[in-house]
Chains A and B, each alone.
Chain A
Amino acid sequence: MRDIKVSLVGYGIVGHGVVDVFNRKKKMLRDMGLNLKLVSVTDHTGTVVSENGVDAEKILGERTLANVATSSMKGKEAISAIDSDLVVEVTPTNIVHGQPGLGHMEAALSSGKHVVTSNKGPLVVSYSRLKKLAEDNGVMMKFEATVGGTMPLISLVERTLVGNTILGIRGIFNGTCNYILTRMTEEGIPYTHALSEAQDLGIAEADPSYDVEGVDTAGKVVILANSLFNMNTKYSDVDVTGITGVTPEALALAKKRGYAIKLIGNVPALTVRPTLVPLGSPIAVSGTLNSAAIYTDLSGTITVTGLGAGSIETASAILTDIVSIYRTKRIDAIF
């Protein structure tokens, strides 16, 4: 049995999902030989620390840690002070300066802790620096949950499709936009109407611009370009058009000719724009689903689809990353 001490930083929707999933999968992980111990949970109000593992039942009912915190430590201070092997970073994303996640990840990596994250901001702002920091400290940084949520994409390319040259990736990387476009097509309703419906259902934020202007998708395009195509791009390199200009009439005209209009992110072209996708195409998924077509030299085109967001779904991608860190054997270690 291998004991792994995990610190969770960020206790919002995804943070709750992580605590829940760790708790639910405890036995399964033990059967695999991994004893994941959540030694601390930190948010903007403080930290719950427990050497023997934080009691999930005790904190899952709390929206923040204000009432249950055992220490007033926050952020970087907590990361450095608490003895752990791995930090799960799930604070709110900021694509402009990457903070506070960027500082958290730097602190974790430079003190020799693995990092698993769903936070796009730090990777968009500073991918190559973080990667180097991880290498210099002999630890890993995994971020499957940042692109396409639970849909396997980065691990699929890095592990399963290893040996292939990846020629391009095109896909739907934002469930909110996909939901709005789907509803506009189905009901013939204007953008603003579909948006308020999405807001009522909690699919769109009160300020939806991050999703509907294509900012979120562009962030994912940057992460894919940097991590899978070894490019050194930043957000401003992406040519972005969102979905606010798409009309129900345009969707109807397209549908009549056998096309759906989807917000498509394209790597390595570095574009995000509304695009005609043939209705029968496997990437033309509906509702909040995400999808990606991976164009390869040996395997042809591989398409994946799955839920792009959600508390448990994102936590599932985080769990996969954690397990893969401890299951990875270097090729030269096998012989």
Chain B
Amino acid sequence: MRLSMDLELQDVPGQLLLALQPFRDNKANIISVVHHRDRKTPRGMIPVRFVVEMDRSKIETVNAKLKESGISVVRAGEDRLLEAVSVVLVGHVLHSDLGDTVNRIDSTGFAEVMDVSLTMTGVDEPSSAYLKIRATGKAEIQKALAILREVGAEKKLLVIEPIEAEAV
């Protein structure tokens, strides 16, 4: 599982190495370490965000080791839905069962609709909706978009997707 943790380190040499040790000992794969020297806490501690991939069963051991070394764990949480995408739908968004549209994404298990804004004009006029979809990875985002495209074709909705930042 992928985990993000916010730690606070004392501003003395060797602290970062000390914080890394328990992760290493428990075979965690470190994805990123962001060291915020410029954002010292009122107590003079330095916040550091770790993103790691590790076995769920080892979390407690790592936590205990960190505490032993005098490092405080401010927050730890599972990062499950790592990627996000914005989509705009136009058409009879509500009357073509918006609940079902959202559910088609949510029921995948790998993607969820996290945010919906709806603008409705006249009764017979097309409505417009903004959806933010989060998913467990880039490939899952593409799968979610494919589902939405399918739903769009079925319900005669215009699906406006974001331009891809990469070439392929």
Residues 82-129 (chain B) with a chain A CB within 8 angstroms: 86-88, 90-91, 117, 119, 121, 126-129
Instruction: Determine the chain A residues whose CB is within 8 A of the CB of B126 once the complex forms.
Output: 245, 247
CB contacts under 8 Å to B, within A224-247, are: 241, 245-247
Interface size on B, residues (CB 8 A): 23
Q: Is A98 an interface residue (CB 8 A)?
A: no
Across the interface, do A167 and B168 meet the contact criterion of CB distance under 8 Å? yes
Q: Is the CB of B158 within 8 A of A276?
A: no
Question: Which of B27-35, B38-46, B159-167 forms contacts with chain A?
Answer: B159-167
User: A residues within 8 A CB of B160?
Assistant: 246, 250, 254, 261, 273-276
What does the 1/0 interface line of A271-306 toward B look like (CB < 8 Å)?
A: 001111110010100000000000100000100000
Q: Which residues of B sit under 8 angstroms from A167, Cβ to Cβ? A: 167-168
Interface readout for B132-168 with A: 1 if CB under 8 Å, 0 if not? 1000000000000000000000000010111110111
Residue contact A259 to B162, C-beta cutoff 8 Å: yes
The complex places the Cα of A277 from the Cα of B165 at a distance, in Å, of 10
Whole-angstrom distance between the alpha carbons of A254 and B87 in the complex? 8
B163 and A250: CB pair below 8 A? no
Interface SS of chain B: helix, strand, loop or mixed? Answer: strand
A276 touches B161 (CB 8 A): yes
How far apart sit A301 and B91, CA to CA, in the bound complex (Å)? Answer: 34
Q: Which of A245, A256, A276 contacts B163 (CB 8 A)?
A: A276
CB of B122 to closest CB in A, whole Å: 11
- Beyond contacts A256-B117, A257-B132, A259-B86: 16 other A-B pairs, Cβ-Cβ < 8 A, are A241-B158, A245-B91, A245-B126, A246-B160, A247-B90, A250-B88, A253-B88, A253-B130, A257-B130, A259-B88, A273-B160, A273-B161, A274-B158, A274-B160, A276-B87, A277-B163
